[in-house]
Each structure stands twice: as C-alpha cells, then as structure tokens.
C-alpha cells in the first residue's frame, strides 16, 4: 500500500456518502486545503484504501450494501487503519447512534445538514492531532530503541565473560519488571512513587542488575556449590556493579535510566527483614527499585539452571518466593508479582 497522504503538501481526505449533493458540499468545503476523493459506495472506498491511505475519512452511516457502522468496524480492526481519524456525517440525530459510532472508534459525529466551515475546521483539527500523535509515537520508539539498545549492549558485554545464560536471564527479568511496574502504576499505593517511571525503560535498566559479577567470572562459572569465602566475594557484586554504573553515569550526566540501573544493582539483594546485603537495609528503607526487583530476580534465578543444579519448576519456585514474603521480599509487591505470574486478579490474598 502506498501512503501518499502528504503528497504535494496536501493531506488526502476520503469522503464516503451515497448522496451526491453531500459529496459535492464536502468537496467544495475542503478542496482548497486538501486533496479530496469522493465515493458513493463504501466498497469503492475500501478498494482505494488498498492503493493509498488517506489522512482522514468522512463517512456517512446509512448507505447501500455496506453501512458506515460496518466500515468503522473494518477500519478499527485493521492495524494499518486503526488510528485513522473518521468523522461521521449523517442525518441520524439520535444519541444512540452517536454513542455507537464513538464506541466503534469514530473521532467526531456531525449531523446533516452540516455547516461546511465547521466540517473543514474539524478535518483540520483531527488531521493535526493525528499527525502529532504519530510524531510522538515515532519519537517514543526512537527513545525506546536508544535506551533498550544501550542496556542490551552493557548486558552483552558482561555476558562475554559470564556466558549466554547471563543475557538470557536478563531478558526474562526485563520482561517481568516491565509488566510488574506497569501494574503497580495502576495502584494508588505506588502511583506517586512510580509516576515518573517508564515501565519499558525500567525493565531495560534492570538488565544490568548483576553487572558487578563480570569482575568475578571464575567464581560464577564454578560447577560446584560455592564455599563460604566465595559467597563473601559474590556478595560484593552489588557494590562493584554500582561503581561500574556510576563511572558510566559520570560520563552520561542526567541519565535517569542509568541512575535507576545503579539503584537496581545496589539494592536488589537487600532483604525485607534486614538480613540482606550490602547495607542490611530493611522494610521501606530499601529503595523501591530493590523491592520490585528482588522477587523477580530470585524467581528468574530459581527457574534457571545452574552448573550445580537443575532449574526449578514454576510451581516450586513460586512456593519458595511465597515462603519468603515478609522475610526476604516486600510482602505487598511480591503478592502482586505472584498474581501476575499466575495470571490471576491481583486482589487475591496469599
């Protein structure tokens, strides 16, 4: 499909109505500012959509063979056209028809006889709004790509010494953190603290939570359980990871995602009861990043194989996580995390 909606500097508008007088009125109102294509049947308009996409469609409701309702249903069900603005222009003045159209995705609802200047103004407004939304979406995608690729690059670098499983687990953590943060943002208890968080960026920045382990790869690669002195070394990886990320942060001042990555790295091994490391923080004294990441990181670790053990099943891993609620993990956040894993409503009581 060719998209020529901005060819020659003018947006394309399709007008669909079985009334020739309505088509001509709309054309005269719009053709100075837009390239206008008129159709007396929805079938012809849908055929033209296969050739190029307009910036907006003006649509009558009551037409032969295919109604305006049917056209709305088709358009909003296709990804290529789902965001395409549609203005309904109809002789139907009842509120039920208007509500039905809005529920089907119409942008505006005008009744006949319409005022040409009003139609023209509505078309301008809706096209401008849609272009702005598309530009914002492009900018967001570019930003998503930038942030995601940056943290993927750091994780790949660490995986060079720690093995492919390090990256694979980081990807799993990223997905779960994204989902958990997005859910917590809907809850009044977390809305204030999380209002500036982007769930996708939070997931990306959590990928480097264990980057400090890249400095101790010989211990990490051991195929037998670690001795106590080796555990003591491993417990230093949050501090090392924070130092590594802070060094990068000095070169990338005001990078909020990198700053959050450092908090993730430094706090996700703190325990709710104060028995964790490196600072033995407890309860709400643990940064929110650490309280969110801790059960996620543990779940991914438990369900991943290690040189000295097989991966645990989902069921067994969740049993361990639940048993540590209020001891190792923030009980409320963990309750929501387990419910997400179970695909259950998050108001369940564990």
DSSP-derived secondary structure for 41-84: SHHHHHHHHTTB--SEEEE-SS-SSS-HHHHHHHHHTSTTTTT-
Could you please state the CATH topology (level 3) that the domain comprising 7-114 is classified under: Rossmann fold (3.40.50)
Q: For the chain, what are the domain ranges?
A: 7-114, 145-342
pLDDT at 348 over 60: no
pLDDT in tens, 105-134: 998 899 999 899 989 988 988 898 888 788
Residue 127's nearest CA partner among 32, 57, 55 is 55
pLDDT at 68 over 70: yes
Locate all alpha helices (DSSP H) within the chain, ordered by sequence: 20-30, 42-49, 68-76, 95-103, 116-162, 164-184, 188-194, 199-206, 217-220, 228-234, 237-251, 256-267, 288-302, 314-323, 331-342
pLDDT in tens, 1-36: 555 455 567 899 999 999 999 999 999 999 989 999
Per-chain mean pLDDT for the chain: 88
DSSP-derived secondary structure for 240-277: HHHHHHHHHHHHSTT-HHHHHHHHHHHHTT--TTS--S
Could you please state the CATH topology (level 3) that the domain comprising 145-342 is classified under: Hypothetical protein af1432 (1.10.3210)
Beta bridge partners of 179: none
pLDDT in tens, 239-275: 999 999 999 988 887 899 999 999 999 999 999 999 9
The pTM score is 0.63
């Amino acid at each position: 499909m060719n998209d020529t909606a901005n060819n020659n500097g003018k947006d394309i508008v399709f007008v669909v109505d079985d009334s020739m007088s309505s088509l001509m009125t709309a054309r005269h109102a719009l053709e100075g500012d837009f390239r206008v294509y008129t159709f007396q049947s929805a079938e012809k308009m849908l055929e033209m959509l296969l050739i190029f996409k307009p910036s907006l469609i003006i649509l009558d409701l009551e037409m032969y063979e295919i109604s305006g309702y049917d056209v709305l249903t088709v358009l909003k069900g296709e990804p290529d056209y789902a965001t395409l603005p549609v203005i309904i222009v109809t002789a139907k003045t009842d509120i039920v028809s208007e509500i039905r159209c809005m529920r089907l995705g119409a942008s505006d609802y005008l009744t006949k006889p319409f005022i040409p200047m009003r139609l023209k103004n509505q078309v301008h407004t809706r096209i401008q709004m849609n272009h702005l939304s598309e530009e914002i979406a492009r900018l967001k995608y570019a930003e998503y790509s930038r942030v995601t690729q940056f943290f993927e690059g750091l994780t790949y670098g660490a995986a060079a010494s720690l093995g492919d499983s390090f990256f694979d687990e980081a990807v799993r953590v990223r997905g779960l953190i994204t989902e958990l943060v997005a859910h917590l943002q809907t809850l009044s208890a977390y809305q204030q603290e999380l209002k500036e968080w982007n769930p996708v960026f939070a997931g990306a920045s959590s990928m480097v939570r264990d980057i400090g382990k890249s400095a101790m790869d010989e211990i990490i690669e051991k195929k037998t359980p670690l001795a106590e002195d080796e555990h003591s070394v491993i417990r230093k990886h949050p501090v090392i990871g924070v130092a590594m990320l802070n060094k990068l942060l000095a070169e990338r001042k005001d990078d909020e995602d990198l700053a959050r990555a450092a908090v993730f790295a430094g706090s996700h091994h703190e325990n709710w009861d104060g028995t964790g490391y490196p600072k033995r923080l407890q309860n709400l004294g643990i940064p929110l990043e650490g309280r969110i990441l801790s059960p996620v990181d543990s779940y991914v670790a438990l369900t991943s194989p290690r040189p000295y053990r097989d991966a645990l099943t989902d069921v067994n891993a969740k049993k361990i996580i639940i048993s540590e609620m209020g001891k190792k993990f923030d009980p409320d956040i963990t309750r929501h995390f387990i419910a997400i894993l179970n695909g259950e409503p998050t108001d369940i009581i564990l």
